[in-house]
Structure 1
Amino acid sequence: MDFNLNEIFTAFMVLFAVIDIVGNIPIIIDLRKKVGHIQSEKASIIAGLIMILFLFVGQRLLGFIGIDVNSFAVAGSFILFFIALEMILGITLYKDEEDQALNATVFPLAFPLIAGPGSLTTLLSLRAEFQLMNIIIAVLLNVIVIYLVLKTSARIERIIGKNGIAIIRKIFGVILLAIAVKLFAANIKMLLA
């Protein structure tokens, strides 16, 4: 296993952009208002465990249904592309039904808001290109950032403001779009070879 800072940084940035924890601050604040208290530690740990578990089991699950990682990565690049478009254009292409569960910490916060379809697809897409250990480190770093953002979400919103959050969201959208194109190009070559 190669410890590679470049891979860790790239995987961290991709996951950070897909999870979009800063862009989700308004949703987190709304959840806090609706349910009172959100357990930041629990939400972060559960989301991290879901992502790491999927990183290990996801590939086997795909193999079981007869899909290779490169095909999944190409499909994942489309999802990243559409998430990026949502972030850049401020539109909603995918609307998740909001089912009010008893515990907002686990559902909808840890899953599917943090460890949702986008981040899980991204993990398997990254696995097609990067070393497993580097992706795990990137996930753990994201879990730390998620925890810090959840803990300080109200303060962050006051400091950055709604316009600041919108700007950050658009910047990460452009980065994510470029990554989606790169991921598509790299994996489509493997499929056509």
Structure 2
Amino acid sequence: MAPYYRPVTSRCYVSTFRAICDSFIEVISAEVENSLRTVNIHQFLFFPAFQQNMPLMYELLKCWDSTEEGFKIKDHLLKFTTDEVAILTDLTIDQILFNAGFRYGDFLNYLSLKCFLQVWFLEHINVNTPRNPDSRPRFLRWEGNTNIFYSSEKAAHLLATLKEKQILYVLDGVSAEEADLVHADLTSFQPPPSPLK
């Protein structure tokens, strides 16, 4: 008998968040934008037009192993760490974990974590080519890419039929400069905990 999985529900209104950012960027002054750039959150004003791919998220979350703090995909453990979220977003680890004032952690969790998790998955599964492979922050590489939307059947088939060579253990092509910019240590044997913990 198959185990019961609670259906995934979504409170992540990415299109609404993006519309707010689009409106905001039209009226802010250069001084305000520079202030946001100083604290390294200006990139969210250019949040891409992601579709909420709930079938893919549902299949991915079924692979989550809370004891390992990672996703077990085809018997491979892929860690979803704060270092990798930092690389995807261009935020430093301190900014992600900061819990006063602006509350970056809540910002990532409530507004965009599903999208970053989706992009993280696409970065680790070599089946969808990014539209803008050199863009930074890395989540902009998938902007407007409608080829990453999966139906329930296609998402289940994708995870069931992945081949060994299609699974990447670490983010591909991260330069030392890129890691240094966000203070990420991608060579550590003890990576920071998962933001999903």
TM-score (norm 1): 0.31
Higher relative contact order (CA 8 A, sep 6+): 1
In proportion to residue count, which structure has more strand? Answer: 2
TM-score (norm 2): 0.30
In proportion to residue count, which structure has more helix? Answer: 1
